[in-house]
Amino acid sequence: MAHPKTARIVRGTARQLAALAAALRRGEIVGVPTETVYGLAANALDAVACRKIFRAKGRPTTDPLIVHLPSAHDLAGVAVPNAAAYRLAAAFWPGPLTIVLPKRAVVPDIVSAGLPSVAVRVPAHPLFRRLLRLAEVPLAAPSANPFGYVSPTAAEHVRAGLGQKVRVILDGGPCAVGLESTIVDLRDPAKPRLLRPGAVTRAQLERVLGVKVGAPPRRASARTAQLASGMLTRHYSPRTPVVLHARLTPTLVRRGATDEAWLFLMKPRGLAAKNVHGLAPRGDLRGAARRLFGVLRTLDTAGYKRIHAELVPGDGLAAAINDRLRRAAAR
């Protein structure tokens, strides 16, 4: 069936949710809200439907999908859980944590990049959870954007990037977290490893698990199968080159060109130029994470030659923000 010129954005009424659930069961793809970023959803147990995600995004099949479940009670249907996984689920689900585990045979290879593992989570967004229950199938849902581009945190972002590739986008408002989920590898519960930092921090994982969590891998290539999404060296990247700084100062800005943008954690007082932006007025990291991708998208469409961004000091959520900035700046 041919797609309309531009995707429809719909509200989460009972009628619309029932129609979207039926479309997903038929093997269609749908733009959906989550608390992290907007996703492009398909029936995770339908290999043909999941291939539509890869085609729509231009995503390499070496980059696996995350399977979303309505409840932790559904975990054993798609994965082989262990006690550590259930401890994390009790602490952080529903929420922005993805767990990598051995997969069940019911999960198609296209979902897992051909690997014997699967990445799973239970999302917290109320509309997406209702849709999951109505669909009655687990849903694969990577970020709803062209592969490698800045992730979408609003329904309009999805339409701007994939409006020609998807028929319907469910509007759930702006994303509350704004960064993709934390991913932890629990295939060996004695040696957990952080694969992607996010709103659930490494320290939080260690407190629940009672063991050290290994550091994320440094580099990954799209030529080889990945354990989880978001591990590639270049990702979340605007078309405008991003230049990173340990610290930006007003002096740097005043000496810089007016056709370059400057992105601070907190915009300094006295810098009123239109090319100077701040992520959080009071340095609130949750607010900075929530706004990061939206600000990058705005700057990317403003015609600047470069975007200068400062890294955020600290660990925890700061590490997740810096991870996205470093991948956005990679060339």
Tell me: the pLDDT tens digits for 263-314?
A: 999 999 888 889 999 999 888 999 999 999 999 999 999 999 999 999 999 9
Residue 123: per-residue pLDDT: 98
Q: Which fold has domain 242-329?
A: Rossmann fold (3.40.50)
CA distance 9 to 189: 41
**In the predicted model, what is the mean pLDDT of residues 91-112?**
98
Residue 306, beta-bridge partner list:
260
Find, among 4, 1, 25, 21, the residue nearest to 12 by Cα.
21
Find, among 227, 220, 221, the residue nearest to 193 by Cα.
227
Residue 43, beta-bridge partner list:
139
CA distance 290 to 292: 6
Find, among 193, 196, 182, 265, the residue nearest to 230 by Cα.
196
Residue 234: per-residue pLDDT: 85
Residue 1: per-residue pLDDT: 40
Residue 37: per-residue pLDDT: 98
CA distance 59 to 195: 19
Residue 129: per-residue pLDDT: 98
**Which residues have CB under 8 Å from 23's CB, separation 6+?**
30, 167, 168
CA distance 150 to 140: 19
Domain extents for the chain?
A: 8-209, 242-329
End-to-end CA distance of the chain: 37
* Residue keyed to tokens 């629940």: 208
CA distance 219 to 270: 39
Residue 51's CB: how many other CB atoms inside 10 A?
A: 16
- pLDDT tier at 229, thresholds 50, 70, 90: confident
| Cα 331 off chain centre by | 20
Residue 60 · residue 224 · CB < 8 Å: no
Tell me: pLDDT of 48 over 50: yes
- pLDDT tier at 221, thresholds 50, 70, 90: low
- pLDDT tier at 217, thresholds 50, 70, 90: confident
**In the predicted model, what is the mean pLDDT of residues 221-227?**
79
| Cα 284 off chain centre by | 20
Residue 220: per-residue pLDDT: 67
**In the predicted model, what is the mean pLDDT of residues 73-78?**
98
CA distance 179 to 319: 12
Is the four-CA dihedral 96, 221, 151, 248 of positive or negative sign? positive
DSSP 179: S
Is the four-CA dihedral 138, 143, 144, 146 of positive or negative sign? negative
**In the predicted model, what is the mean pLDDT of residues 214-223?**
76
What pTM was computed for the model? 0.95
* CA angle (181, 183, 282) in 5-degree steps: 45
Q: Within 13 Å and on the Cβ side, how many CA atoms surround 81?
A: 19
The letter for the amino acid at 252 is: L
Instruction: Please state whether the peptide bond connecting residue 238 to the residue before it is cis, i.e. omega within 30 degrees of 0.
Output: no
Residue 290's CB: how many other CB atoms inside 10 A?
A: 20
Residue 263: per-residue pLDDT: 97
Residue 254's CB: how many other CB atoms inside 10 A?
A: 9
Q: Which fold has domain 8-209?
A: DHBP synthase (3.90.870)
DSSP 141: -
